[in-house]
């Protein structure tokens, strides 16, 4: 059950909406069309507003239709009604296209667009966002885990096309369909991990640890702060993490449940050096400048990580969506400030559960800095 919202807008010659009589004429034409698709529609209220007018109509079973006429030539239409899961939609998908066409013809529109139905108050949250904050709709049909940890809201949802998917604080993280994410992050086939010592910062879903252990490393330390994430993924995301989260230690790995900086600082104090560090923590923040708590955390991680990296080692991390170019540029500007100097390369891959291309970084000490 949910409130179904249909949003339509169209553009016409502004001269037709330039005064009250023109707006009434356009609305009368639109009302005639709407009555063919919304049962028992009647005008309930009219309001004059600055720059145009607002009309409110009601229909069958509490349906409401608001029509906003702007004197600059734009008209918006919002149709809302309550629908039980077992009920047929008030306006079928086929009829939405017919409605769009009827409005275009009857009102001689320059442009008309009717968006697919938005479900509001639905039992599953099917809407997430892209990295640059565009709305994405998923085919989520179940929530299999939902718990607030001391650090974040942890959910495992099921998608018809992606399988189970980890969602943290309403941001998609990884799904059963996302092996490409892990393989691009680790540059599988391009990097040799056999016999190497590796640190994973974060990685609570277990996918990176699971894939790295297939490469026969000498030892891997995974530093994850959220026990709830690991417990949820161990139970509901076995296809991507296997059994590596089942126990905290194995022959060549250890999972340390604490703030990753505690172990990094311990390694710094001991003079420990490793071959690879994976930053599998937060995405690069979306902001106008590289300041704020998240940026400070990310810069601290970078500076500290290179203190425990061997001269020929690499820091591997995910960045952000390819469309978030400003945030990527800010990150690269911060890389340019690191001392000793570093160089980097980038990889790009389409991640199914993100519904977009993602950027990954491979960062190492510059060859000319004598590190």
The arrangement of strands across the sheet holding 153-159 comes to 140-148, 153-159, 163-168, 171-175
Work out the angle between the directed axes of helices 325-337 and 293-305 (0-180°, nearest 10): 40
| CA–CA separation, 79 and 5 (whole Å) | 6
Q: Which of 71, 205, 280, 283 is catalytic?
A: 280
Query: Is 280 tagged catalytic?
Result: yes
| CA–CA separation, 304 and 281 (whole Å) | 14
Task: Write the burial class of residue 240 (CB in 10 Å: 0-12 exposed, 13-18 middle, 19+ buried).
Answer: buried
Between β-strands 342-351 and 356-365, what pairing exists: parallel, antiparallel or unpaired?
antiparallel
Token pair listed for 328? 């990527």
Between β-strands 274-280 and 309-321, what pairing exists: parallel, antiparallel or unpaired?
parallel
Question: Hey, which residues does 10 pair with through a beta bridge?
Answer: 75, 112
Backbone conformation region of residue 230, classed left if phi is above 0, alpha if psi is from -120 to 50, else beta: alpha
Catalytic site positions: 280
């Amino acid at each position: 059950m949910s409130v179904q919202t249909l949003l339509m807008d169209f553009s016409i010659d502004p001269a037709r909406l330039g005064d009250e009589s023109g707006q009434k004429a356009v609305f009368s034409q639109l009302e005639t069309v709407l009555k063919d698709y919304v049962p028992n529609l009647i005008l309930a209220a009219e309001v004059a507003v600055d720059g145009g007018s607002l009309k409110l109509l009601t229909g069958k079973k509490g349906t409401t239709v608001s029509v906003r006429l702007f004197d600059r030539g734009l008209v918006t239409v919002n149709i809302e009604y309550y629908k039980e899961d077992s009920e047929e939609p008030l306006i079928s998908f086929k009829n939405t296209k017919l409605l769009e066409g009827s409005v275009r013809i009857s009102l001689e529109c320059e442009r008309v667009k009717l968006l697919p139905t938005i479900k509001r108050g639905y039992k599953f949250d099917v809407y997430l966002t892209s990295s640059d904050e565009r709305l994405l709709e998923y085919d989520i049909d179940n929530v299999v885990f939902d718990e607030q940890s001391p650090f974040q809201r942890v959910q495992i949802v099921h998608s018809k096309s992606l399988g189970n998917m980890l969602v943290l604080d309403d941001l998609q993280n990884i799904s059963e369909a996302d092996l490409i994410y892990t393989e691009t992050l680790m540059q599988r086939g391009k990097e040799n991990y056999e016999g190497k010592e590796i640190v994973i910062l974060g990685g609570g879903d277990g996918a990176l640890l699971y894939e790295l252990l297939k490469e026969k490393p000498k030892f891997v330390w995974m530093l994850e702060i959220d026990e709830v994430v690991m417990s949820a993924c161990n139970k509901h995301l076995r296809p991507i993490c296997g059994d590596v989260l089942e126990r905290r230690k194995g022959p060549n790995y250890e999972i340390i449940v604490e703030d990753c900086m505690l172990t990094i600082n311990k390694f710094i104090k001991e003079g420990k050096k490793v071959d690879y560090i994976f930053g599998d923590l937060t995405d690069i923040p979306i902001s106008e400048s590289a300041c704020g708590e998240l940026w400070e955390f990310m810069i601290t991680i970078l500076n500290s990580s290179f203190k425990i990296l061997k001269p020929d080692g690499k820091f591997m991390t995910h960045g952000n969506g390819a469309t978030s170019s400003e945030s990527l540029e800010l990150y690269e500007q911060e890389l340019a400030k690191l001392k000793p100097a570093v160089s980097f390369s980038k990889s790009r891959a389409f991640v199914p559960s993100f519904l977009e291309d993602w950027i990954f970084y491979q960062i190492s000490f510059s060859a000319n800095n004598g590190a």
